[in-house]
Structure 1
Amino acid sequence: MGAGRLMAVLVTALLAGCAPATAAAGGATAVPTARRAPEGSYTVGVRTLSLDPRSARPLPVTVWYPAAPGGVAAGRFPLVIYSHGLGSRPDLHAGLTTRWAAAGFVVAAPAYPHTRQGAPHFTRADVRNQPADAWRLIRHLGRLDTDPDDPLAGHLALDSIAAAGHSAGGFTTTGMFSEGHPARLRAGIVIAGGGLPGSFAGPVAPMLFVHGTADPVVPVAVGQAAYRRTPGPAVFLSLLGQDHGAYLTPGHPGFAPVLAATTDFLRWALYDDAAARARLEADAGTPTLIRYESRPAR
């Protein structure tokens, strides 16, 4: 499927919206780091930021982080940028993002100006502009990391960044992997999404795809087409008979394996945790629920 066809799918097939079902509530490998993957889990803190509130593209951001009494836990933590789908917002994905933070990641989730729930000028076509918003957020977080008055100062491992997202946020995620993107963007997780035109250029990075085989909004074939285009090592989890995002709901049968696989993928890609990489197929659980595919870099 060509880039133009993929964009057409994005603009037309997403008409039903991209909020999760819970909206009411090998060659190249991961680049090693000097950090050891955490054992156990952290309590989780949360804060909100507001980037450029008076601009044409204001960007409210929710940040979840490993916490300790008095603030952020000691150490530097890899960064995950999480992008929501059409008509959604960051807090609707907290079931997943808070658990990533508990595992030792800082997760920053922007509420995009023209696709978030309640956007005053909602437009699906603005998804193509969202990768630039995500990079704007990364630059802002870099400034906070050097600001002695900010609680995040000295706690962000900005050489170890992943992008992740659901539905239109998955398309946003792939759009960040365009020509010239910095090598510090080391991994991507695409949930019920696909590739934007220009995706998968520049430094190769591991990619994890998660997609329901009965997704009525973004057909699984769109995710598979993006998976086949990725130049780096890639994993595809097909959730058999599942829809556009019910498996992101804690307590759903698909949630635990998706959480385990995405967390171990991040541990491998951002902490160079080889044991986590070895667990990925087992994380997917029973083959009657999830079909696991993987391939090395080309």
Structure 2
Amino acid sequence: MRVHFRVSGLFVLLLPIALVASGWVVAAPAPAAPPGFAPDRTYAVGVRTFDLGRGTARPLRVTVWYPARDDSPRSSGAGPAAPRRDAPVAAGRFPIVLFSHGLHSLPELHAPLTTRWAAAGFVVAAPAYPHTKRAARRFDRGDIRRQPGDARRVIRYLTRLDRASGDRFAGRLAVTRIGAVGHSAGGYTTAGLFAPGHSARLRGGIVIGGAGMPGTAFGGPAAPLLFVHGDADRVVPVSRGRDAFRRVPWPKAFLTVRGGGHGEYLVPGRRGFAQTLAVTTEFLRWTLYGDTQARRHLPTSASSEVTVFADRLDRDLSTETSRLRPLG
């Protein structure tokens, strides 16, 4: 399938929604992983949506992909199953990943990544930001500075659902293990979440094709950060990402996609996608599950002629990992 790109502001149109279903293999149900180990299986994927702030000046539609129980019969050789709407959640407790889109984008346009992370054992919540999303009624580039507040609102809502009797997410969310990921303007939003005073529940972040939130410093509880950037990015120059990287006071890493632009490496089959998917998944497995084996795999996952990995993840996080409770 040919994919056509269109740069608009800080956004690259990644992929038709038809690719939402691509890329995972359904496995049989398995028990939750013990502390220190991420799941070693691939889950079926469910999807549900919420509308927050309905009737207010900041309506916020949220798409959530999550590990699902696979109750459907599967024939031998069948292709990958599409995410099932409102499917039962798989057994266990799963960390939360807050995903932020770029300008003129939508959560579903990033499904090639978000569904794969869900299949790996994460609940991925992606808000459609009210004034920077695609076809926003009143588009406002400057509204990016308010988006970290929207993201925190989504996290608070999911935290309440984990305690809500009768909700399918009740008892299934590891609300003390939260990560944040964002592309382009969403990368700036993600960086803004790691400002002084951020919650210790925010354990790691990934900034893709973005940089630091203007006027906001990194501060608060230490949280490892990963930057992913194409060195031929003409929308957000790689120098901006590297400048933000230098200002991070915590464990950090920088994955450079050689010859990469602003987002084509986020598309399956394109140059750099395999490395980006592998590194981001291992990073989430390490920071949110405390999986030390995933930490060891990071340099190997990034090793290729396509990418360069700068590893500054040298702080001993054993005390952080040891206080993680079982995900049962």
Kept after mapping to 1: 8 A contact 2:175/2:201: yes
Task: Pick the aligned partner of 2:166 from 149, 152, 167.
Answer: 149
Kept after mapping to 1: 8 A contact 2:15/2:267: no
Q: Secondary structure at the match of 2:12?
A: coil
CA distance in 2, matches of 1:220, 1:165: 16
Cα deviation, residue 253, structure 1: 2.4
CA distance in 2, matches of 1:281, 1:35: 19
User: Amino acid of the residue matched to residue 93 of structure 2?
Assistant: R
1:22 matched to 2:40: no
Kept after mapping to 2: 8 A contact 1:74/1:155: yes
Task: Pick the aligned partner of 1:277 from 295, 300, 305.
Answer: 295
* Bigger RCO (CA 8 Å, 6+ sep): 1
Superposition RMSD in Å: 1.5
Aligned to 1:216: 234
Kept after mapping to 2: 8 A contact 1:20/1:244: yes
Task: Pick the aligned partner of 1:161 from 178, 189, 192.
Answer: 178
Aligned to 1:109: 126
Q: Secondary structure at the match of 2:168?
A: coil
User: Amino acid of the residue matched to residue 238 of structure 1?
Assistant: T
CA distance in 2, matches of 1:108, 1:207: 19
1:230 matched to 2:248: yes
Q: Percent identity?
A: 55
Aligned to 1:267: 285
Kept after mapping to 2: 8 A contact 1:20/1:248: no
In the alignment of these two chains, the number of paired residues is: 276
Task: Pick the aligned partner of 2:154 from 137, 158, 170.
Answer: 137
CA distance in 2, matches of 1:242, 1:89: 22
CA distance in 1, matches of 2:54, 2:269: 36
CA distance in 2, matches of 1:283, 1:21: 26
Q: How does 1:1-298 map to 2 (within 5 A)?
A: 16-25=8-17, 34=35, 36-68=37-69, 69=71, 71-196=88-213, 197-286=215-304, 288-295=305-312, 296-297=314-315
Question: Unmatched 5+ residue regions in structure 1?
Answer: 1-14, 26-32
Summarize deviations over 1:212-270 as a string: whole Å, max 9, x none. 00000000000000110111111101101110000000111211110000000000001
Q: Secondary structure at the match of 1:188?
A: strand
Provide TM-score, normalisation by structure 2: 0.81
User: Amino acid of the residue matched to residue 46 of structure 2?
Assistant: G
Q: Secondary structure at the match of 1:71?
A: coil
Kept after mapping to 1: 8 A contact 2:8/2:104: no
Kept after mapping to 2: 8 A contact 1:84/1:166: yes
Kept after mapping to 2: 8 A contact 1:80/1:163: yes
CA distance in 2, matches of 1:141, 1:16: 31
Provide TM-score, normalisation by structure 1: 0.90
Cα deviation, residue 198, structure 1: 1.8
Aligned to 2:3: none
Cα deviation, residue 34, structure 1: 3.2
Cα deviation, residue 297, structure 1: 4.9
Cα deviation, residue 148, structure 1: 1.2
